[in-house]
C-alpha cells in the first residue's frame, strides 16, 4: 500500500535512501528503529530503503510499518558483509534512483561502508548524528555529551550515520512497505573475495549494540574470570555483556563487545557499568543510553558524573549480592 498525500517535506524524504542492515539473516533493530524514526519525521511520505541479503522472515515488512519501498537483493551470497559488493550495489541504486541522501544506523558496518561510499559518490559524510538530519544539518554530541556541534554537508549529496536511540519507536499506521526485488550484477558474483576468517559470537549471546540491557565491565573486574558474574547478571536481564577498551586490549573479552569511540555506540534502556572508570572515549559510546547505573570503588570516577544511579563499592562484593537479590525478586514475579 502507498500514501501519496504529502507536501514539500515528503518530497524531501523521497530523495533519501535508508540502508537496512541484516546480520546472519536477522534484520538489525537499529535499522528498524531508523526506518520508524524516519517515518515519524516524514509524516506519511513514502520512504525508500535498500536491504542486501536474505532475511529469516519471508517478508521484511513484517517488522517495518509505514509506506515506502524496500529494494531487497535476496541473494545468499550477500548474507555476509562484503565491502566491494555492498559498495557497488548500493552506489548504483543511489545514483540510478536520483537520491541525494543516504542514511545508515551507526554500526560497525556503516563505519566501514559509509566512508567508502562517500568517496565513490562524491558525497559529504556526516557521521554519528545524535538525531535525524534536517535541511542538510547534522547535530552530534561532543565531549561525552557535554556539548553539541552542528555539521553541514558541503556537497549536494550527503551520507549520514545516525546514532541509536534508547527509545524504540513503532508508528501506528495501517501501511506496510512494498518489497521490490533488486538484482545483483552478474559480474559481481565472481568478484566475491575469499573468507579468511569468520568470527561469530557465542550462541545465545545478544549483540551489545542490539540489547535493551547492557552490563559492561572494565579493568576493575580484575580478570577475564571476573566477567562470569556479568554474564550471569546479563542473562537475568535478557541482555548483553559489554567491555571497555582496556579489557579488550587485555584479551579478557572479544572486540565485538567493546563499547566506546573505537568500539560500538549503544543505546540500551538500561546500562550497568561495573568497574569502569569512565574515560571520555567510553562515555561517547553510551551517550544514547537511557538509565545509567555505575558501580565503582573510586567515588571520584568520571562515570558517576553521567550515571543516574551510582554505588561506591568493590564490584567483587557488590555484584554477588546484586545477582542474589535480583534472583529473589524474579522468583516473586
Percent helix, strand and coil across the chain, each to the nearest 5: 35, 25, 40
CATH of the domain at 251: 3.40.50.1220
Instruction: Check whether residue 227 and residue 148 sit in a common domain.
Output: no
User: Is residue 196 situated within a structural domain?
Assistant: no
DSSP state of 185: P
Segments forming the whole domain that contains residue 52: 8-191
Instruction: Check whether residue 137 and residue 227 sit in a common domain.
Output: no
- Return the pLDDT at 3: 38
Instruction: Check whether residue 15 and residue 103 sit in a common domain.
Output: yes
- Return the pLDDT at 20: 96
Instruction: Check whether residue 187 and residue 309 sit in a common domain.
Output: no
> Do β-strands 22-23 and 26-27 pair in parallel, antiparallel, or remain unpaired?
antiparallel
User: Is residue 206 situated within a structural domain?
Assistant: no
Total domains in the chain come to: 2
Question: How far, in Å, CA of 114 to CA of 161, rounded?
Answer: 8
pTM of the model: 0.76
User: Is residue 72 situated within a structural domain?
Assistant: yes
User: Is residue 293 situated within a structural domain?
Assistant: yes
Instruction: Check whether residue 180 and residue 295 sit in a common domain.
Output: no
Final residue of a structural domain among 156, 191, 226: 191
> Do β-strands 101-105 and 16-20 pair in parallel, antiparallel, or remain unpaired?
parallel
- Return the pLDDT at 137: 86
Final residue of a structural domain among 130, 157, 191: 191
Question: How far, in Å, CA of 141 to CA of 149, rounded?
Answer: 6
Neighbours of 199 (CB within 10 A): 7
Final residue of a structural domain among 191, 222, 251: 191
Instruction: Check whether residue 230 and residue 179 sit in a common domain.
Output: no
Instruction: Check whether residue 220 and residue 134 sit in a common domain.
Output: no
Q: What are phi and psi of 117, to 5 degrees?
A: -70, -30
Instruction: Check whether residue 186 and residue 230 sit in a common domain.
Output: no
- The distance of Cα 299 from the centroid of its chain, to the nearest Å, equals 31
Instruction: Check whether residue 254 and residue 129 sit in a common domain.
Output: no
User: Is residue 199 situated within a structural domain?
Assistant: no
User: Is residue 291 situated within a structural domain?
Assistant: yes
- Angle, in degrees to the nearest 10, between helices 227-237 and 315-332: 20
User: Is residue 239 situated within a structural domain?
Assistant: yes
Instruction: Check whether residue 102 and residue 227 sit in a common domain.
Output: no
CATH of the domain at 166: 3.40.50.620
> Do β-strands 270-274 and 291-296 pair in parallel, antiparallel, or remain unpaired?
parallel
- Return the pLDDT at 8: 41
Instruction: Check whether residue 187 and residue 243 sit in a common domain.
Output: no
Instruction: Check whether residue 262 and residue 170 sit in a common domain.
Output: no
- Return the pLDDT at 145: 64
User: Is residue 2 situated within a structural domain?
Assistant: no
Per-residue model confidence as pLDDT tens for the chain (333 residues): 333 334 444 557 889 999 999 988 888 888 998 999 999 888 878 899 999 999 876 555 557 888 999 999 999 889 889 899 999 999 999 999 999 999 999 988 999 999 999 999 999 999 989 888 887 788 887 776 667 889 999 999 999 999 888 766 666 667 889 999 998 877 554 455 555 565 555 555 678 988 999 999 999 999 999 999 999 999 999 999 999 999 999 999 999 899 998 888 898 999 999 999 999 889 988 988 999 999 999 999 999 999 999 999 999 999 999 999 999 998 866
All three cell numbers of 313: 563499592
All three cell numbers of 168: 524504540
- Return the pLDDT at 209: 86
All three cell numbers of 216: 559492561
Amino acid at each position: 500500500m502507498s500514501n501519496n498525500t504529502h507536501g514539500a517535506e515528503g518530497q524531501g524524504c523521497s530523495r533519501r535512501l535508508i540502508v537496512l542492515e541484516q546480520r546472519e539473516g536477522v534484520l538489525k533493530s537499529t535499522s528498524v528503529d531508523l526506518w520508524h524514526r524516519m517515518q515519524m519525521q516524514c509524516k506519511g511520505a513514502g520512504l525508500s530503503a535498500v536491504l542486501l541479503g536474505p532475511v529469516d522472515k519471508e517478508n521484511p515488512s513484517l517488522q517495518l510499518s509505514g509506506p515506502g519501498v524496500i529494494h531487497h537483493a535476496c541473494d545468499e551470497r550477500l548474507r555476509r558483509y562484503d565491502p566491494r559488493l555492498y559498495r557497488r550495489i548500493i552506489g548504483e541504486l543511489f545514483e540510478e534512483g536520483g537520491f541525494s541522501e543516504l542514511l545508515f544506523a551507526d554500526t560497525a558496518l556503516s563505519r566501514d561502508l559509509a566512508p567508502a561510499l562517500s568517496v565513490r559518490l562524491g558525497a559529504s559524510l556526516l557521521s554519528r548524528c545524535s538525531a535525524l538530519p534536517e535541511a542538510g544539518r547534522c547535530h552530534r554530541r561532543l565531549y561525552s555529551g557535554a556539548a553539541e556541534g552542528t555539521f553541514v554537508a558541503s556537497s549536494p549529496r550527503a551520507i549520514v550515520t545516525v546514532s541509536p536511540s534508547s527509545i524504540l519507536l513503532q508508528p501506528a499506521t495501517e501501511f506496510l512497505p512494498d518489497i521490490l526485488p533488486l538484482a545483483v550484477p552478474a559480474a559481481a558474483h565472481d568478484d566475491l573475495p575469499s573468507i579468511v576468517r569468520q568470527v561469530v559470537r557465542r550462541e545465545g549471546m545478544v549483540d551489545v549494540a542490539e540489547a535493551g540491557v547492557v552490563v559492561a565491565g572494565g579493568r576493575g573486574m580484575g580478570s577475564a574470570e571476573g566477567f562470569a558474574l556479568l554474564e550471569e547478571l546479563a542473562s537475568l536481564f535478557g541482555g548483553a555483556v559489554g567491555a571497555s577498551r582496556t579489557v579488550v586490549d587485555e584479551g579478557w573479552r572479544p572486540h565485538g563487545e567493546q563499547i566506546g569511540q573505537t568500539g560500538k555506540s549503544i543505546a540500551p534502556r538500561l546500562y550497568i557499568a561495573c568497574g569502569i572508570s569512565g574515560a571520555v572515549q567510553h562515555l561517547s559510546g553510551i551517550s544514547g543510553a537511557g538509565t545509567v547505573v555505575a558501580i565503582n570503588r573510586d567515588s571520584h570516577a568520571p562515570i558517576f558524573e553521567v550515571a543516574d544511579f551510582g554505588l561506591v563499592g568493590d564490584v567483587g562484593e557488590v555484584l554477588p549480592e546484586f545477582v542474589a537479590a535480583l534472583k529473589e525478586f524474579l522468583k516473586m514475579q
